[in-house]
Chains A and B, each alone.
Chain A
Amino acid sequence: MTPIARKRLRKAALNTAGVLVFVFAVFPVYWMVSTAFKSNDQIFTTDFIPFPTHFTFEHLDRVLSEGVAGNSIWLYMRNSAIVALGTVLIGAVFALLAATAIARFTFKGRNSFLVLLLIVQMIPSEALLIPLFLNVKRLGLYDQLLGLIVINVGLTLPFGIWMLRTFVAAVPKSLEEAAWIDGASRFVTFWKVLFPLVAPGLVATSIFSFITAWNELIFALILMSDSSGYTMPVAMQFFFGQRGTDWGAIMACSTMMTIPVVIFFLLVQRRMVTGLVAGAVKG
């Protein structure tokens, strides 16, 4: 074989492998979306129907009009959004403050704090389930979205700080020093110089927290007894009925729940990986 032919063959093999990986990753997602738009005849068959030939909105319609467990699906979407956004707003402020402290100051106890951050990330949140449940009950936050928000802030903050500190550290210190020399106060320097430069990192970190809170199942499961407080992951469980599963409806619902996350992921994909890995490695 000539070297050129060998090169072409190699390229073809690599591309084939790439396509296979793509199919493996995407097919299940495609299967979810396509099931949502198939008629029941096409869903409950032992044949393989690669795409919905009778494209239908009946499942989406049913989910939107009938809802689940006695409530509109929009209520659950709204609850999920409130919990996720609340987590992000509170978490972002706290994370930014702490990340600035770590990345911009040298102080006694700094390394201990970093090690603390590493260690608390290792506590499985499932292990905190029981005490947090009891505390939330005692504080009267049971069945309230605020209780979930508070807990999600706790679960996402250590990682948020860990991730954000890289972004803060990446802003050249000289910029701030220049502002100080020009007579700007610390706060003005922070607000006018550091904040705009860190904003993209803050967005990436916030989206990470948003997704974590949006996806959270176990705490929402035990802290919400009233169905009007369910978040999407909890509400989804009600499609698996005693008399069989309404697969069309549950796929429509899963798709609705997945769309915001996919959009966010695609928006900040690169920054998130930088934050996750470089943040943990290069520090």
Chain B
Amino acid sequence: MTNTSTIARGGGNPSAPGRRRHSQQRPAKASGLPPKAIPYVLLVPGLLVIAGLLLYPLFQMIVISFQKVGIPQINGKKPATWVGWDNYTKILDNEVFWSSLRNTVVFAVITVTLTLVLGTAVGTLLNKLGKKMSTFVVIGIMSAWAVPPVAQGVIWRWLFDADAGMINWVLNLLPDWLSNLLFGRADWTGEPWLNDAITIYLVLIICVVWASFPFIAVSVLAGLKGIPTELYEAARVDGATPWRIFRKITFPLLKPVFSVLTILSIIWNFKVFSQLYVLMNGPTNREAFNLSMFSFAEAFRSPPKMGTGAAIAVILTLLLLVVTAFYVRQIVKTEEIR
């Protein structure tokens, strides 16, 4: 799937043969390099970084997942011992793994969906607003997007604070009959949202959707601006409903944008860490772990169990690769990367 269309005009040898400086195309004087070698030289630093900081550690992570790595091994006092599939069987037997997996997947599915739907809706809205109003809203949503993840966690932890949080105050404002009807209770004073796994995730979902829909909205807006208005006029003349216009014109034309946004959202939401870390105050509540938090807790809480931590990380990576591979294939296929 890789070596397709746009490969070297001159074709042939990757190791940049000979010194054919006088090819008519590129009078490369002072560089002293054969022109064919230039792109490779330019790529070397980047490739070294990617290989040394991403690919090799990825390989190491797989190796470590089959080893026992505790304090003596970390300090280099003892070599790591090979334990085969032990780390994996240990994890699969651990109920925390299964609840983490469930938390990870359910959270990602809900959050990705909500972010995309809300982001698309807001992007479409922005496209319909007047210029001033649209700029005003864009600046507003941009400020939410810009807040650092740790600060996002802090803000929402405060809003959902049991005693002085705004959310409990708002819920208390609801007329008692409505609150009873919706939630089966009227009094929200002191409601501790961040004690329980389910409500922690409720807060986390709101927090992450709030912080990430702006990017989707602005991207969709950028995409919409590129669609010729004649298409919409023609559709309206033909009497198409807004929903039909979206399905038949907007969506197909923005499909590439949507696929990229979906991949990015999946990648970002599968491994959310900072916000969860702040909301539950470190790896404290095992029931509320997701896979990244579980891996982190195994590896870095004493006693450190790097082997099982790595095994969890391997599973998380595989999961992410499987989910996104489909989309990546589509990008490679349909967009024909240049």
Contact = CB atoms under 8 A, between A and B. Distances in A.
A265 B257 contact: no
Majority secondary structure, A binding face = helix
A94 B45 contact: yes
Contacts of A19: 137
B256 A236 contact: no
B281 interface: yes
Contact of B50 (A18, A135, A154, A262): A154
A86 to B, nearest CB: 14
Nearest to A160: B46
A218 B296 contact: yes
Interface stretch (B33-41, B93-101, B243-251): B33-41
Interface string B39-64: 11011011101101111111011001
* B6, B7, B57: residue with the most chain A Cβ atoms closer than 10 Å: B57
B320 A122 contact: yes
B166 A280 contact: no
Majority secondary structure, B binding face = helix
Contacts of A187: 30-31
A94 B31 contact: no
A166 to B, nearest CB: 10
A263 to B, nearest CB: 9
A217 B150 contact: yes
A151 interface: yes
B46 A126 contact: no
Contacts of A169: 338
Interface string A134-153: 11011000000000001101
Given A122-B320, A134-B306, A185-B30, A154 B219 contact: no
A266 B142 contact: yes
B122 A277 contact: no
Nearest to B223: A277
23 contacts: A18-B129, A21-B122, A28-B210, A97-B43, A106-B7, A107-B7, A108-B7, A108-B8, A111-B6, A120-B50, A125-B271, A126-B292, A126-B316, A130-B306, A131-B61, A181-B27, A233-B148, A247-B158, A254-B154, A269-B218, A277-B257, A281-B257, A281-B260
Given A124-B313, A215-B148, A218-B274, 17 more contacts: A18-B129, A22-B136, A32-B155, A44-B164, A101-B38, A124-B270, A125-B271, A129-B313, A130-B306, A131-B60, A133-B300, A154-B54, A183-B27, A187-B31, A257-B150, A258-B148, A282-B335
